[in-house]
């Protein structure tokens, strides 16, 4: 991270910080609720990667579309889906954003054009491609942002989607969150070419890499890329270099990486780094941080309250929405 | 009424859809410049342009997934997969996405996607171009599976699929494309989920669909010469399945034989048998039987391929044993 001061409004800086802190505290709360058995299934925490979702999401308008992965709490919160709706989803309650049918891995909110929550690695890329194609065919100046991890670059659909997006010059922004591990397999242990930019370029998609621990760098790079994509210049891939501080999921004993490596990355905690910078620039005082923490704590606690109070979907509705209801 | 081939009937529906709905577009391998592997889309590129008749790379999974995404984005894509064997490359998008998104999103998403593909054997194309896997697809809640057997249904069911808010998979038996039939081009869509009795009779119910309908009717005609009147039920739609139509025929004939080009083990025929057991057991005079494909990858040599497939002679022999 460069220490050079970036021109940034205090209000916007505090907004970015608040969003990152919200994700961090929401997920710490989720981990706790998981150990209490309130949240079940798989829970993949985003802690450490907050600057990616928060920085990137600043580039998109409400008309743009977001496609994400099973590690999507950060994107969902940064997109503005209410925390309570997400927490209720993880509780499996009917007031959850997917009526309790999806859980942690499958958040959907069509009013915010948030198209999941996809748990087949790479499977969201073709869907994002189709959303972008629909926009192009209908002459809409929208961007589809597709988040995926470094693990997805091993999938055929990665190359197929990049190729088609480039071939058809689609308004699609590929956001590769490189946290260095495909579940527990390090990038260098599953890819002969570890520079993801080169893979993208080989498929005809211009690519750049960004420090994913620097929220301002992510914001600036994503805004610039989104603008080009929106202009009709064709797809772009950004590799956002980041790191997941927690295990892959709650079931992961982390045998594949050393504590030292994790500690080294934690020294570049995106929230701590941003706080230090804002203090240095005189944009943040202790009272601001306390106010943010207080507000976030209330929001998370209200989210838990909403999940606790939420109703269960009636069992009679089990097969509802497998197909559209008959018209007659 | 107009006489046209199955191929022309499919094209007639595609053309009508492209003309009447700007959201409709076609996407698939060699459907444009080449004119379609089975010439179904021949001429449509020239008529509608490359934006709406899109040639794709050999990336089945991705262009099918793009069809799902485009459907979510307000379009009405019609994706062509060259043959059912190639559709296996897209199975992830079909099973994990197309079929799940409405339910998994709590009813927020709708995937109005139409997928067409050729299925079946009979053209000496061996074991990677000849299988009948439509039965597999019926296992998946969230999609619909149609198997038009005559030109009028090829047109009518495709028009119905386009009006359907859910993903619809249409399996066109490749031997049917050159066959002619009467088609009313002013007729609208054919209702999805309704079987039709193609031939009435009281001695036996023959239940079939798609590429096996012709052989089954041929068998029934020959049986008729010998005084055996078999009823032939063409399912047309495998999911949803018109179980009442099957059961009402059996209530009349008390005997049932299923003709299904899929392999016998785990076949769609087995599902029909199970549904007859559940709903028509007391109407039966004897066990339900089936004629399916032999349990082998489809061989190339003509005599071997013929031996592997259901044939009119096998159907006749089985019927006679049952009477």
Strand partners, A174: A146, A237
Please tell me whether the peptide bond between A117 and the residue prior to it is cis, using omega within 30 degrees of 0. yes
With beta carbons under 8 A apart, name residues in chain A contacting B56: 164
pLDDT of A326 reads 82
- Please say whether the beta carbons of B140 and B194 come within 8 A: no
Q: Hey, of A68, A85, A133, which one would you mutate to test binding to chain B, going by the most B CBs within 10 A of its CB?
A: A133
Buried/exposed B273-290: b ≥16 CB within 10 Å, e otherwise:
beebeeebeebbeeebbb
Residue ranges of chain B whose CB lies within 8 Å of a chain A CB: 25, 51, 54, 56-57, 59, 61-75, 77, 92-93, 96-97, 101-110, 141-142, 144, 164-166
Residue B103 phi, psi dihedral angles, 5° rounding? -70, -45
Say if A96 is an interface residue toward chain B (CB within 8 Å).
yes
> Are B105 and A106 inside 8 Å of each other by CB?
yes
Measured CA to CA, the distance from residue A191 to residue A153 in angstroms comes to 9
Residue of B260, B258, B229 whose CA lies nearest to B323: B229
Spatial distance between the Cα atoms of A232 and A139, rounded to a whole number of angstroms:
10
Find out whether B118 and B38 touch, Cβ atoms under 8 Å. Answer: yes
**Among residues of chain A, what percentage have pLDDT more than 90?**
95
Kindly list the residues from chain B whose CB atom is less than 8 angstroms away from the CB atom of residue A101.
103-106
- Whether this model's ipTM surpasses 0.90 comes out as yes
The stretches of A179-239 forming alpha helices (DSSP H) are 187-190, 196-202, 215-231
The per-residue pLDDT for A1 is: 52
* Residue A2 banded pLDDT, cuts 50, 70, 90: low
Given this model, what pLDDT does residue B135 score? 97
What size, in residues, is chain B? 323
Inter-chain contact B106–A102, Cβ cutoff 8 Å? Answer: yes
Structure tokens at A263: 């500690």
- Residue A321 has its nearest CB partner, among B66, B92, B106, at B106
CA distance B213 to chain A (A): 28
Judged by a CB distance cut-off of 8 A, whether residue A324 touches chain B is yes
How many other CB atoms are there within 10 angstroms of residue B21's CB atom? Answer: 13
CA separation for the pair A73, B174 (Å, rounded): 47
Ramachandran area for residue A310 (φ above 0: left; ψ -120 to 50: alpha; else beta): beta
DSSP 8-state symbol, B285? S
Taking the alpha carbons of B300, B303, B304, B307 in that order, is the dihedral positive or negative? Answer: positive
Question: Which H helix or E strand runs over A292?
Answer: helix A286-309
- CB contact under 8 Å between B73 and A138, yes or no, is yes
Give dist(CA B319, CA B311) in Å, integer: 12
Domain ranges across chain A: 21-306
pLDDT at A5: 77
Please name the member of B51, B63, B73 whose beta carbon is closest to the beta carbon of A131: B73
Best of A134, A135, A167, A169 to substitute, by most chain B Cβ atoms within 10 angstroms, is: A134
| Cβ burial, residue A52 (10 Å; 0-12/13-18/19+) | buried
Kindly provide the b/e burial profile for residues A5-43, where b requires at least 16 CB atoms within 10 angstroms of the residue's own CB: eeebeeeebbebbbbbbbbbbbbebbbebbeeebbeebb
Provide mean pLDDT across the span A67-86.
98
User: Average pLDDT of chain A?
Assistant: 96
Look at residue B221 in the predicted model and tell me its pLDDT: 98
Contact A101, A323 (CB under 8 A): no
pLDDT class for A7, splitting at 50, 70, 90? Answer: confident
In which order are the strands placed within the sheet that holds A236-241? A114-118, A65-69, A144-149, A172-178, A236-241, A207-211
- What domains lie within chain B, and their CATH numbers? 2-183 (3.40.50.970), 196-322 (3.40.50.920)
Series of mean pLDDT values for 10-residue runs along chain B (323 residues)? 97 98 98 95 97 98 98 98 96 98 98 98 93 97 98 98 98 98 95 98 98 98 98 98 98 98 97 98 98 96 96 98 94
Q: Are residues A85 and A78 in contact, defined by beta-carbon separation less than 8 angstroms?
A: no
- B159, two tokens: 């028009």
Instruction: Using alpha carbons, select from A101, A106, A55 the residue that is nearest to residue A81.
Output: A106
Instruction: Check residue B266 and give its pLDDT.
Output: 95
Instruction: Provide CB contacts within 8 A for A144, sequence distance 6+.
Output: A64, A65, A66, A67, A128, A131, A132, A135, A170, A171, A172, A173
Write the burial class of residue A63 (CB in 10 Å: 0-12 exposed, 13-18 middle, 19+ buried).
exposed
Nearest CA among B66, B5, B87 for reference residue B40: B5
pLDDT digits (tens, 9 = 90+) for A167-176: 999 999 999 9
Active site residue B60: yes
Check CB contact under 8 Å for A321 and B69.
no
| CB < 8 Å to B108, chain A | 98, 108-110
- Interchain contact, B62 vs A132, CB within 8 Å: no
> Is the omega angle on the peptide bond into residue B240 within 30 degrees of 0, that is, cis?
yes
pLDDT tens digits for range A292-305: 999 999 999 999 99
CATH of region A21-306, choose from 3.40.190.10, 3.40.1260.10, 3.40.50.970, 3.90.1150.150: 3.40.50.970
Terminal CA-CA length for chain B: 39
Q: Indicate which of A94, A130, A132, A141 best probes the interface with B, i.e. most B CBs within 10 Å of its own CB.
A: A130
The Cα–Cα gap between A177 and A53 comes to 9
Q: CB A321 to CB B102 under 8 A?
A: yes
Q: Which of A129, A168, A323 shows the shortest C-beta gap to B69?
A: A129
Question: Stretch A109-129: mean pLDDT, rounded?
Answer: 97
pLDDT of residue A251: 83
* Residue A113 confidence class, pLDDT cut points 50, 70, 90: very high
pTM for this predicted structure:
0.96
Residue A56 is predicted with a pLDDT of 98
């Amino acid at each position: 991270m460069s220490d050079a001061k970036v021109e940034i409004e205090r209000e916007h800086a505090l907004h970015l910080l608040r969003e990152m802190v919200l994700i961090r505290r929401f997920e710490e709360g989720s981990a706790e609720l998981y150990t209490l058995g309130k949240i079940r299934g798989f829970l993949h925490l985003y802690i450490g990667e907050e600057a990616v979702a928060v920085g990137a999401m600043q580039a998109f308008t409400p008309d743009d579309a977001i496609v994400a992965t099973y590690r999507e709490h950060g994107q969902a919160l940064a997109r503005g889906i209410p925390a309570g709706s997400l927490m209720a989803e993880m509780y499996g309650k009917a007031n959850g954003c997917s009526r309790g049918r999806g859980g942690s891995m499958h958040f959907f909110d069509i009013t915010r054009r948030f198209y999941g929550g996809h748990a087949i690695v790479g499977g969201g890329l073709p869907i994002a491609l189709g959303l972008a194609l629909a926009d192009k065919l209908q002459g809409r100046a929208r961007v589809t942002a597709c988040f995926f991890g470094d693990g997805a670059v091993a999938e055929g659909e990665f190359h197929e989607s990049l190729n088609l997006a480039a071939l058809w010059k689609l308004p699609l922004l590929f956001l590769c969150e490189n946290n260095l591990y495909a579940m527990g397999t390090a990038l260098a242990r599953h890819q002969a070419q570890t520079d993801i930019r080169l893979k993208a370029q080989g498929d005809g998609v211009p690519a750049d890499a960004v420090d994913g621990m620097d929220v301002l760098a992510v914001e600036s790079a994503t805004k610039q890329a989104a603008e080009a994509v929106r202009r009709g210049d064709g797809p772009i891939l950004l590799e956002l270099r980041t790191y997941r501080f927690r295990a892959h999921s709650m079931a992961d004993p982390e045998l594949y990486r050393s504590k030292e490596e994790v500690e080294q990355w934690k020294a570049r905690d995106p929230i701590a780094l941003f706080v230090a910078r804002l203090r240095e620039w005189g944009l943040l005082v202790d009272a601001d941080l306390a106010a943010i923490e207080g507000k976030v704590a209330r929001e998370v606690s209200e989210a838990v309250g909403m999940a606790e109070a939420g109703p269960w979907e009636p069992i009679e509705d089990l097969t509802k929405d497998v197909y559209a209801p008959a018209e007659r | 009424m107009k006489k046209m081939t199955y191929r022309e009937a499919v094209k007639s529906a595609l053309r009508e859809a492209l003309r009447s709905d700007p959201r409709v577009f076609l996407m698939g391998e060699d459907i444009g410049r080449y004119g379609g592997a089975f010439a179904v889309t021949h001429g449509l590129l020239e008529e509608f342009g490359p934006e709406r008749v899109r040639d794709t790379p050999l990336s089945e999974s991705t262009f099918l997934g793009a069809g799902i995404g485009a459907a979510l984005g307000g379009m009405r894509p019609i994706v062509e997969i060259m043959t059912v064997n190639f559709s296996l490359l897209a199975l992830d998008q079909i099973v994990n996405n197309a079929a799940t998104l409405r339910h998994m999103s709590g009813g927020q998403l709708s995937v109005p996607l139409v997928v067409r593909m050729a299925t079946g054997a009979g053209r000496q194309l061996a074991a990677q171009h000849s299988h009948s896997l439509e039965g597999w697809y019926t296992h998946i809640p969230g999609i619909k599976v149609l198997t038009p057997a005559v030109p009028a249904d090829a047109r009518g069911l495709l028009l119905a699929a386009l009006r359907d808010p859910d993903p619809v998979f249409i399996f066109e038996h490749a031997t049917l494309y050159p066959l002619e039939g009467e088609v009313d081009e002013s007729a609208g869509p054919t209702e999805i989920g309704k079987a039709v009795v193609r031939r009435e009779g009281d001695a036996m119910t023959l239940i079939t669909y798609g590429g096996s309908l012709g052989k089954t009717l041929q068998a029934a005609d020959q049986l008729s010469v010998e005084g055996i009147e078999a009823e032939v039920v063409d399912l047309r739609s495998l999911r949803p399945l018109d179980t009442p139509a099957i059961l009402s025929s059996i209530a009349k004939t008390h005997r049932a034989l299923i003709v299904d080009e899929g392999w016998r083990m785990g076949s769609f025929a087995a599902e029909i048998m199970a549904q007859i057991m559940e709903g028509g057991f007391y109407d039966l005079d004897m066990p339900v039987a089936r004629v399916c494909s032999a349990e082998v990858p489809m061989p190339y040599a003509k005599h071997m391929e013929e031996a592997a497939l259901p044939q009119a002679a096998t159907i006749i022999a089985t019927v006679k044993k049952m009477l």
